Amino acid sequence: MTPIQFIKRQPPGRIIAMGFALTILAGSILLMLPCSIQDGVTVRYIDALYTSTSAVCVTGLIAIDAGDTFTPLGQFFLGSLIQVGGLGVTAVGAGIMIAIGRRVNLKGRTLIQEAMNLDSGKGLVRFIKSIFITTMIFELTGAVLSFLVFRRDFPLIKAIGVSLFHSVAAFNNSGFDILGGGTNLIPYQNDVLMNLVTCGLIISGGIGFLVIRELWALKFRWKKLSMHAKVVISMSAALLAAGTILLKLTEDITWMGAFFNSVSARTAGFSTYPLKDFTTAGLMVMIVLMFIGASPGSTGGGIKTSTFFALIQGIKRAATNHSEKAFHYSMPQGSFRKAAVITLLALTVVSAGTYLMLVMDPYLNLQDALFEVTSAFGTVGLSTGITATLSDGSKLLSIFIMYIGRLGPLTIATLWHFTSGERASYPAGNIAIG
């Protein structure tokens, strides 16, 4: 059996997982090339692999500073990995096939449907085209507006490069920067334009391509939006507002700073204030926001806003004995069960990851380790400053957790599913719950 035949026989989830893994490995090799690394700088392979994983999984956690480590070519490779990771390996592959005039076969359509969480396989080619057009519009607009800020601090060519990179990273909800010095966006914490542009790109990338396309097609008319779009928009707004208020109550920061950090915690990873100075209460708010994350079909991670909404509706039904409904729709059958499974798997990954990190790096405290692992799982990229000090074992653990977070815990759990049916049935038993 040839490798191509072997791949074709694999289920969609497994092919997507292999695609991301191969992209990460290829990216790590590109980042290790001498032309990618600045003179006098040494990069270990574990750090290149960590950076590649963080980029492809659109996380933003850094073991080495991209601005001080990589050449312009290396930064271009890094930005390309972020772009591929944000759009999805499957979508990028399909886009290339469409661009060169090749037809997307049934297997490819199934992969796209699985990767983008689509209910139907209809109009997939148009959907892929709309993804690329939408991405180009948002990122070019973001780059132009960012340039107005960066031009004040950098020469023309450097400002153009920084603006393009920042726009790509922000729209794809990846907290990388190439400003150098490990300061991220802290120097721009009071710059209104930079804060608003970055937040706009993050929110747009985080609500998902499906919602963006629906908003555009229906001209932002709320009543005509689907249940999914209404859930995503309302939950995103509620979480952003709650995060802003709670962070302002717990931290000595401006309202703009509180809003920016609330937005960034939704899987983006940019920071305008040093998180190591945040209170425990503030970090707890950030952990919850990172764990929930962005929305399905977006560039972000976490358990997703719709999952959190389904959990709330299921709990409400159990408490009130009323049917699950919202926005004049009934909740899809089995939505609470799926949401509960995803959340339980996510909690297991975060809990086990935090424990293992504390075992391998016992000098860490629980708060920092939990924050780091949740950030990796939610593909956020925020850190209290411990990433560069992690042992190689903890970095490998973080790589694995970022990989799980990007693909989704349920997708990872189903990769080892081989059989399609039960061989025996058993009588129903009885178990006391609660």
- Tally of CB atoms within 10 A around 61: 29
- What does the alpha-carbon distance between residue 11 and residue 416 come to, in Å, rounded to a whole number? 10
Outline where 191-304 has alpha helix (H).
192-207, 209-217, 227-250, 255-264, 280-292
For 128-169, the pLDDT digits (tens) are 888 888 889 999 999 999 999 999 999 999 999 999 999 999
Check if the beta carbon of residue 95 is closer than 8 Å to that of residue 128: yes
For 244-253, the pLDDT digits (tens) are 999 999 999 9
Nearest to 34 by CA among 80, 61, 73: 73
- Tally of CB atoms within 10 A around 417: 10
Picking from 186-195, 229-238, 266-275, which range would have the lowest pLDDT averaged per residue? 266-275
Position 103 confidence tier, pLDDT thresholds 50, 70, 90: low
Check if the beta carbon of residue 373 is closer than 8 Å to that of residue 404: no
Q: Coil, helix or strand for 381? A: coil
Judged against a pLDDT cut of 70, whether residue 125 lies above it is answered with yes
Q: Where are the domains positioned within the chain?
A: 3-412
Q: What is the pLDDT of residue 214?
A: 86
Going from the C-alpha of 49 to that of each of 55, 290, 305, 400, the distances in angstroms are 10, 23, 30, 11
Angle of the 45-56 helix axis to the 72-87 helix axis, nearest 10: 40
Q: What is the pLDDT of residue 307?
A: 92
Judged against a pLDDT cut of 80, whether residue 11 lies above it is answered with no
| 192-216 average pLDDT score | 90
| Average pLDDT, rounded, for the chain | 86
Contacts of 13 (CB under 8 A, 6+ apart): 114, 407, 411, 414, 415
Q: Coil, helix or strand for 325? A: strand
| 271-278 average pLDDT score | 91
The rounded percent of the chain whose pLDDT value lies above 70 is 86
- Tally of CB atoms within 10 A around 76: 16
Contacts of 354 (CB under 8 A, 6+ apart): 366, 369, 370, 373
Query: What is the value of pTM for the model shown?
Result: 0.89
Outline where 293-334 has alpha helix (H).
305-320
Position 4 confidence tier, pLDDT thresholds 50, 70, 90: low
Q: What is the pLDDT of residue 218?
A: 83
